A and B are shown apart, each in its own frame.
Chain A
């Protein structure tokens, strides 16, 4: 047995020495771990939502419903693949493929641990957003090619939302890029990896980092179409939105891509603000770095599930007003403060001053949003 393990280790070592082998050892775990995390998360989400809504959640397949993801997978694989008669067949087929492709592509630049990053690009953050923007094309393809009013409506909602929230998303990510002076995700994490006493140098511990992280999480929730921003697939309004006309495994691919997108954007938030793979305290630095990464990822996922179980869905005009009248000016203000932070002398005074400016902006913008009518009377042009 030990001989076998030794043999395995030496062959892995030999594999890692070659270039292709090295790439394989980087890529294959990403292709295995994150989809596996997807399976676990669907179960956790349904269980968690069940607890929040005072019911059991899945509890039939296996002990405590643990085999539910497997049952779902088998069901998706054995279902009939229905394509609408009027659909544009080629585009209809390409949409889920492009969706999953772009969802996997973004993991290329995510530093999962100190040594595990598939492609340490110099413009890593830009690559992340560029690959993510292909997802919008896929959403459009899916919604348009199905030739269904529901799916087209869902796609239009999704696109309007993704474009509107992409701006605050990028601008809130910008502060971390400014502070690190680099677009490389590896470099951004390295900048946060030091300690003062036992405390880490995470960007989230600065005022602009804290606000930036909060704004980033809000925009990320909208960008990954999750509750309370799940208008594109609001179940009670337009059923499944842009992928309503997909069945069987194509539907599962959309589902997979959606969750992979959520993990990826959480991973970006972790990298930019939560110190990536670095340990939260200096005395915990002996724990393997990938454990910290996945611990932070699971914590953020738990947060997403909690929010989904707590908040009701927004309305379209509220969604747009929130993005353009609150998030955008707030992120711009945050960029300004992050710039000022770089030139002010370090100390407690700098921390308090910057925090005060941001809190003032938050108070003013929030008051404005309230004063101009939190819930204005809406004129429906088509629905009367």
Chain B
């Protein structure tokens, strides 16, 4: 737990907190970007270059921009300030506790089962590509199919009120 880790962790947490607490939705997206970049920095510190850089490329680049796009294209949302705590306070706390319990349980069990090994020296692109296209090729394809279905569904939904028609 060195100094740079603490710095990056604090940045990530600050970004995530701001994304949750700020009232202007666009500010929330920008704070979320800070959180994403912090998370990517943690991945990079762990030696996972591919995952860290993909995190920036996909999340900070594409996902955040898409979120910003949606906010700006949804008319009137930009100037509406939403309540910082929308749901009932107690329900929110209960949900948070539940999620934390599940995560903590998974982490504790996982650590107990797996020996902590030093990360392989080349835990990079080759290993990930190998795993994706050999051992986990079926889940990958299923995920791709799911995304395609979602995309087609989104296009159909957007077409419905367009004058062009399918």
Q: Which residues of A contact B (CB under 8 A)?
A: 91, 121-123, 126-127, 129-131, 133-134, 136-137, 140-141, 144, 152, 156, 159, 163, 166, 183
Contacts and interface: CB of A to CB of B under 8 A. Distances in A.
B65 A136 contact: yes
Contacts of B11: none
Interface string B17-60: 00000000011001001000000100000000110011011001
Given A123-B49, A152-B72, A156-B72, A133 B125 contact: no
Nearest to A159: B65
- Most chain B CB atoms below 10 A, which of A129, A133, A166: A133
12 contacts: A122-B124, A123-B124, A123-B125, A126-B49, A126-B57, A130-B53, A130-B57, A133-B56, A137-B30, A137-B64, A140-B68, A163-B62
Contacts of B49: 121-123, 126-127
Contacts of A144: 26, 68, 72
Contacts of A127: 49, 53
Chain B interface secondary structure, helix, strand, loop or mixed? helix
A130 B54 CA distance: 7
Contacts of A126: 49-50, 53-54, 57, 125
A133 B62 contact: yes
A91 B26 CA distance: 10
A130 B61 contact: yes
Interface of B: 26-27, 30, 33, 40, 49-50, 53-54, 56-57, 60-62, 64-65, 68-69, 72, 122, 124-125
A134 B53 contact: no
Contacts of B68: 140, 144, 159
B69 A159 contact: yes
A136 B61 contact: yes
B66 to A, nearest CB: 8
B37 to A, nearest CB: 8
A183 B30 contact: no
A134 B58 CA distance: 11
A100 to B, nearest CB: 17
B50 A91 contact: no
Contacts of A156: 69, 72
Contacts of B53: 123, 126-127, 130
Nearest to A183: B125
B30 A91 contact: yes
Contacts of B54: 126, 130
Across chains A and B, which 3 residue pairs bring their CB atoms closest together, nearest first?
A133-B61, A130-B56, A130-B57
Contact of A137 (B33, B72, B122): B33
Contacts of A91: 27, 30
Interface of A is mostly: helix
Given A163-B65, A183-B125, A134 B50 contact: no
Contacts of A136: 61, 65
A221 B54 CA distance: 24
Contacts of B27: 91
A126 B56 CA distance: 10
Contacts of B62: 133, 163
Nearest to B64: A137
A156 B54 CA distance: 24
A333 B126 CA distance: 24
Contacts of B57: 126, 129-130, 133
A101 B79 CA distance: 30
B55 to A, nearest CB: 8
B147 to A, nearest CB: 14
A140 B27 CA distance: 12
A154 to B, nearest CB: 13
A121 B33 CA distance: 23
Contacts of B65: 136-137, 140, 159, 163
A122 B121 CA distance: 12
Contacts of A131: 56
Nearest to A139: B65
A223 to B, nearest CB: 12
Contacts of B61: 129-130, 133-134, 136-137, 166
Nearest to A129: B57
B60 A134 contact: yes
Nearest to A143: B72
A171 to B, nearest CB: 14
Given A140-B68, A152-B72, A123 B33 contact: no
B107 to A, nearest CB: 27
B36 to A, nearest CB: 10
* Interface hub of A123, A129, A152, A166 (most chain B Cβ within 10 A): A123
Most buried by B among A136, A137, A152: A137
B125 A141 contact: no
A140 B25 CA distance: 14
A133 B33 CA distance: 11
Nearest to A177: B125
Contacts of B72: 144, 152, 156
